[in-house]
A and B are shown apart, each in its own frame.
Chain A
Amino acid sequence: MSTGFLAVNNNNEVLISSDTKNLQFAGKATKPSTPLSNFVNHGGFVELVYTIVLSDRSSIPVPFFTMPDDSKFHSIAGVKGVNSGTLEKTWSITILRSGGSTTQVTMPEVYVFVEPVAITMSGGNGLQVFNDDTTVCFDSRARPLAVTNAVSVVQPSNPVTSSSFAALSAAQCGGINNNNFTPTQNNSYNFGTTTSQPTKPMYHYNGLAQAQREASFYQYVESCTGFNIYGFCVGYESTLANTSTYWAFYRGAIGGKTITGSDTYLKAGWIPVIAGCYWSSVSSGAFLRIFGPGSSGSSGGAWPYSDETINLAAQTVIVGDASRYD
């Protein structure tokens, strides 16, 4: 740099530069009073929408979430801004969390960082750095983002193994309240020594990966109204073939914190976010196998793709210490 300002850290990495913008603490996003959606099967899930208003419409917020229960899995599902007021933008930050609890105390806290131009500053003293276009790129009155770790993670392609599935009803989705799709598969990553962990860890992680898994159960029933002689029905014979296909849709997430030896581990796993079932039923009947009503069937409720995992690519978990911003 020939002109401007540059501060580097002990590793010669950029701390403040007039060629970039620092991400600084804009505030905590407002917790929802209730989840937007939730269910309790398959390990449970809540979808939480937080909001925050920023004073500049062109700036994009970077949310970090805490894990009040770090045995649960969490991820960022969406970050959407809508213009509000005269110059502001209201951002909705959607966080997914496994586990069925809907109480506010179990919801993560969401810390939002953004370039300083989008933050309403208070106080008269401090250090400001400007970009070439005269916009403020660092302002010490808003606490800058400090990162404690960054770890690249990826989920296993399959959230659950079908070999562990319990047998479910084949008739018209009669086993809809099952728990077969509770995620069992994850990848574990070392996040460093336990003594070096932040006082109050906060994480930025986007759940881009998605998976759908399904399992079909089939049943064939023959019945005879009359006499059954050596397997031949003398009277009215009917058959019924039922198939129910149960499915669940998952989003990628991190959580399941464990300590092994002197190190702390987090897992890249899955959160089930929607589950359902579709079915078909075909019946036929005949009197003395000569006359009969024929067959019928019905179905409903399917997913747009089947037994597939998409967007499975390594994403970086950025870690900070939320206690610096409380």
Chain B
Amino acid sequence: MHNDRTVDETDRNDIVAARSGDEAAFARLVGRHQPAVARLLWRFTREPARLEELVQDVFVEAYFGLDGYRGEAPLERWLARIATRIGYRFWKKRGRQAPVPLDGFDPVAPADDLDPAAAGALVHALLSRLPPAERLVLTLMYFDGCSIADIAGRMGWSRAMVKMRAYRARRRLKEIAGNERLVEKTGWTS
């Protein structure tokens, strides 16, 4: 998701048309922005069917909230905010589930040519052991390149709270990775 401060002209035209009930214009918005939304939400679930449901939820919520979009930031940033909240709500609704076992990932390829999907699944499994709020902070930092201020703005949390959650999350994650002997399994000693 790019960091331009301006709204794309094509988006602006389609937003105006969609606000006046033009379904085709809204379909074009969905078509253009769903890859980025799906990329973000893939960090919240690794079930393709669930991913599609969450992507739908984002655009349905966006449609009904379109009048509230003031166009001060690019549409993708506004959608990322909705997607993050929907993903977080999904985690909280799911409640505490049995953590994804890491045994299936053993042994991990001891090199940088590790399959990205395998790495993604392993990170997902590790992060799934954190409480939702801490997991969210690290997920956004790791995968969406968010700063403390970005996360605070996106979630409506104070910066101090995000900082504290990031600190706790890292501490806990280090403990989890240690218990799982991650360094040993990867062979990444240096």
A and B from one complex: no
